[in-house]
Structures are given as C-alpha cells and as structure tokens.
Structure 1
C-alpha cells in the first residue's frame, strides 16, 4: 500500500472500531457500532454539526445518539437502521441511472486500512457496494487492508455474489493474497461457496493461476479436496487445475489427501479424473502406501484396480510387504486387480 493511502484516515467514532478480518470481523461486528462517513474539514458546511451529521455525497446523515446501530450480520441489517440519506442516491450508478458525482470521502481509509467499499461489504449493504464499485478506479478496488484483505476477499467470504460479479467486471487483481496467503478463490473453496467459485473461474481473463498456494502450501484444489466437496473439485479440474499437484508441506496430491481422510467416495471421484495413481510424496509414499498403512483394504483395493503398483518401495518397503507385516488377514491384492 502506498504512503499516500497509508496517510489517509476515515474518521470513525472513538468508542468503536471496524475490524475487517474474515473470522475476526464477524465476531467484532456482533458488537454495537456506527458507520459514519466524513469529509475534509474545509468541505463541511459552517452551519452543520459534523460530529453528529457525517456527509455522504452532498447530503447529511442523522446518526442516533446516544443509541448505537447494531450492525451484526445475524441480527439487524444495517440497511434497516441507516437513514435513507446514507444510501446511494436514486440516480447513482448501479441503481438504474447515472450520477457523475464522486465524493472525496470515498478516498479515505479507516484506522484498519479499510476503504468505504470494505466497510459496505462487511456491513452487507450490496446497493452501496455496487455504487462505490461504479465510482472508484481499479487501483482503489485492489486496496488491501491491514489484514491484506481486498474487497473481493470479503465479498467472497460473505457470499455476496452481485458484488463479486461487479468487482470482476472492473478487471481487479484476483491473485491478491491475504495474511494467510489465501486468494479469493481459496476462500470460495474453504467456505464452499460454489456460485462465487464459478464467477471467479470465468473471470474476464479466465481463472487465476490455479497452482498458487497459500502459506500452508495448499492450492485451491487441495482446499476443495480437504472440504470433501466433489462439485468444487470437478469445477476446478474442468477449469485447468492439476490433479497431480503436490501441496507444499509434504508433497501430498489430492489422491493422497482423499486416502488420508479415508474417504472412499471422494477417492472414487478423483480416480474418474485419471490421476497418477503412484504419485510420490516427498518421503516416497504413494497413495497405496497410505491406504496400507491405515489398514484400509477397501481403499487399497480401489487403488490396485486403478493400476497402483503393489511393489513400489518407500523407506519402509513395498505396500505388499507392509500389509503382510501389519495384518494377518488375507492380502487384498491379486494379479486380477493389477
């Protein structure tokens, strides 16, 4: 973030903060807060009380005092509490007509690095979010707050499909990563927001780099696999994700992850996409080694039927020898399964 943006602040009540963290923001917004919009001192009317009547465009908004607005996601919608003058004017872009006015207050940042667009997304005011998106340039839409979240991160996290679509139409950067290294598509997979994922994958320039990993070494496909969501897995694979991609910590492919979770249906789903059945982890283990190590004859049999090599060695030997040492039951392998 440039020094210019870092030096700008959006005036907020001293007794309230806006924390736009993904998990943290939901918790913080359960507390009472007031959303206010301010402009530079020289732009205020000499006769107005700027402490209680923040400016939105060329209109003032009366804010209840001392009562505070409850902006919790799960209780009262902020749009029901704010006066109509705080919402986009009827002639605003995104509301059916045109408005060329661009309030200077749109260019301020909060103490947490949030733009007004961040705040409108957090408070679930899509009409205001669409209005702001229509006004500000792309570089403003790409601003990340102190938690490295862009407006797109927040809109995806909160499943605000209209806002996600509007942001992508402005050709924003879809590969921005938050403090955990997650892109917006990572969040769509983590929260299992299939509609948002579809929009992100058909972006104006196509999908993002699907090999991009977060700070845990997980690509979007790894996240979708760990969520055991076959629809997301198929969507990512059809969009170009590599089914044999290795996560960054131990080299597991999605096939390894499915075996590790002992998920038979997910394993079958992945096998339909023809992965490399004998893919190696960094320690030399194949998915069959993991299945045998967990004494799961059913998963081992499925892998053998898909062509897994029972004589492939790792540090502990072949899957066949490992099974013989681990159990006295009949071996689940036969020449007919290979």
Structure 2
C-alpha cells in the first residue's frame, strides 16, 4: 500500500478535527456542482460540524455566494439565522471574515441584523474587531445600534481601536459612535490606544473630543498607561492636549511616579517641563523623587531636583511681578 500523501493526510486531519463530511466540505470549498450531486443523492442537508456550523455557515464564512444562493433558494428548511455552538449566525461569520457580498446577500435574504453571539457581539462588533471597513460601512448603513456592548462592555469602536484598525475607527466616529463609551472595567478607547501605542488612533480620538482624563477601574488614566507602557509619542500627544498630570491611580501614583519607578527619563522630562505637583505622595508616602532615588535612577532624580528648584524660582518670580 502506498503511503498517503501530505495533502491527503492534511485533508483527513481537517475532517477529523472539525467534523466536516463531504457535504459540508463542498460548501466550505465552494464546489457547487459537487454539493448539488450530493444533495440529489440524498445527503442529509441538516448536518453540522463539531462547531455546530451548517452548510450556510460554511459557505458564508468562505464567501461562496453561488453556493449560498443554491442553499437558500433550492434547499428546504434552511433557516438564515440558525446559530452555531457560539451562537453565531451566517451573518456574524460573513462580517467577521470580511465577506461583503455575502453580507449584502444575507441582508437581502432578511437575516436578523441585531442578533448577538455567545459573547454578546453583534456583526458590527466582529467587522470592527477584524478590520473590515467596507463590511462595517454596510452594516452601519442598515442602522445597527452603534452603542451595543458585548459581554465585557466593549462597543465596536473599542474593538476597532484595540485592533489598530484606523479606517474602521474613522468610519465609526463619522457615523456618530459615542467616543466616551466605557467598558465594564471603565476603559475608554483612549485607554486602549495608549495601551498599544497607537499614536494615530489616539490623535483621532482626541480630535473627536474624547475625555482625556477618564480613569479606568484601577483609577488609571490614558497617561498612566502610556507612561507604564513606555510610549513617549502618546505621552507628548496627551500633554499637548493638556491632560491632568497630577491624577493619582489606585496606588496613589501620578504618571511621574510611574516614570520614576521605571526609569523612563525621556518621559519624565516631558512631564516635568509641562509642570506637575512634586509634593504628591503615593500609598507608601513616597514622592516621585523618593521613588526615583529608591530605584537608583540618579539622572532622573537629578532632573526632579532641578525641576523643583525651577518651580520654586518661577513661583517666586511670579510673586515679585
């Protein structure tokens, strides 16, 4: 017996892993004629794979519109909103994988637009999360709620920012998304931009009027996060936008405390030039100078001492004037 070829082994493994029979495979790969032959031969059209996905799910995910037309028009008892084990419909899968033609077909077929999957994501969430602006635009046009939140309280805008999908963010902002929406952990879109260092994303959010001093469940602002993650460009952008540099987080640390703790000298310099209260103490009773000294960040400590002297001189000069 000849050993099986790698492609044959791969195909066998694929079928075993996902429970794909011949009928589902024909839909998955877009083999319309094979599908028709199997159906005419009496194949069970209600079959599903291990994920609970049926013929329509498979064709929708892969973007095979001709197969979908056959399924919807020629097969009986096909429900357009049938869900898989994750409560995803064909509409969810088409949006998630950027299949614009399929999305349009399903909308024309009367699918439910607002149905949510097991994680409470709508099709809008999935298109935004995976960076499909053309699909996102189509879903926005049909009037799907822009402020819908998933299980973690994220809107489509949050997911677009977190994924770094600038075109999707721009589209959603222009459509009127609430730029200040917060998740269950009180994260704004600006928090996510700061977390990942997306300068262009942060800029468009600031330009859209986002509240730059919003704090999350740890009482951290976007500035705290940008300093911790070491993104000087985000720090500069937020300083230029006149953020509050003296906000304490849950440890009562200001952004300067964090910069001092981690030896972020370039960031500390920007903060000091902008002007901060150097007397503020954290939960351990430490000023930012104490924190810098504790970490043996000599140059940074020297910067804070010089800034303190300058602040005092500046205050004295103002009194004289």
TM-score, normalised relative to structure 2? 0.70
In proportion to residue count, which structure has more helix? 2
Q: Distance in 1 between matches of 2:59 and 2:102?
A: 17
Q: Distance in 1 between matches of 2:295 and 2:189?
A: 35
Give the stretch that moved more between structures: 167-176 or 225-234. Answer: 167-176
| Counterpart residue number, 2:181 | 211
TM-align CA RMSD: 3.7
Q: Distance in 2 between matches of 1:125 and 1:321?
A: 56
| Counterpart residue number, 2:169 | 197
Aligned pair partner of 1:232 in 172, 191, 201 = 201
Map of 1:1-338 to 2, 5 A cutoff?
16=18, 34=27, 51=43, 78-79=62-63, 82=64, 84=66, 86-87=68-69, 105-136=79-110, 140-203=112-175, 206-208=176-178, 210-213=180-183, 215-248=184-217, 250-315=218-283, 316-327=285-296, 328-329=298-299, 331-333=302-304, 334=306, 335-336=309-310
Instruction: Verify the 8 A CA contact 2:260 2:291 in the aligned structure 1.
Output: yes
Q: Distance in 2 between matches of 1:284 and 1:292?
A: 14
Instruction: Verify the 8 A CA contact 1:211 1:245 in the aligned structure 2.
Output: no
Q: 1:127 to 1:314 in 2, by over 3 A?
A: same
**Deviations 1:91-121, CA, capped at 9 Å, x for gaps:** xxxxxxxxxxxx9733433443222311333
Q: 1:134 to 1:274 in 2, by over 3 A?
A: farther
Q: 1:50 to 1:207 in 2, by over 3 A?
A: farther
Q: 1:234 to 1:260 in 2, by over 3 A?
A: same
Instruction: Verify the 8 A CA contact 1:16 1:34 in the aligned structure 2.
Output: no
| Counterpart residue number, 2:11 | none
Structure 1 residue 32: Cα displacement:
6.2
Q: Could you list the runs of 5+ residues in structure 1 that have no partner in the other structure?
A: 1-12, 19-30, 37-46, 55-67, 89-102
Task: Give the number of equivalent residue pairs.
Answer: 266
Q: 1:50 to 1:219 in 2, by over 3 A?
A: farther
Q: Distance in 2 between matches of 1:218 and 1:17?
A: 39
Q: Distance in 2 between matches of 1:111 and 1:188?
A: 25
Structure 1 residue 272: Cα displacement:
1.2
Structure 1 residue 324: Cα displacement:
4.1
Larger radius of gyration: 2
Q: 1:119 to 1:312 in 2, by over 3 A?
A: closer
Q: Distance in 2 between matches of 1:83 and 1:136?
A: 16
Q: Distance in 2 between matches of 1:83 and 1:181?
A: 33
Instruction: Verify the 8 A CA contact 1:225 1:257 in the aligned structure 2.
Output: yes
Instruction: Verify the 8 A CA contact 1:217 1:247 in the aligned structure 2.
Output: yes
Q: 1:293 to 1:182 in 2, by over 3 A?
A: same
**Deviations 1:161-208, CA, capped at 9 Å, x for gaps:** 1221111112211222333432211211111011111111122xx222
Q: Distance in 2 between matches of 1:72 and 1:269?
A: 45
**Deviations 1:280-307, CA, capped at 9 Å, x for gaps:** 2123211111112223333222111111
Q: Distance in 2 between matches of 1:123 and 1:296?
A: 40
Structure 1 residue 124: Cα displacement:
4.1
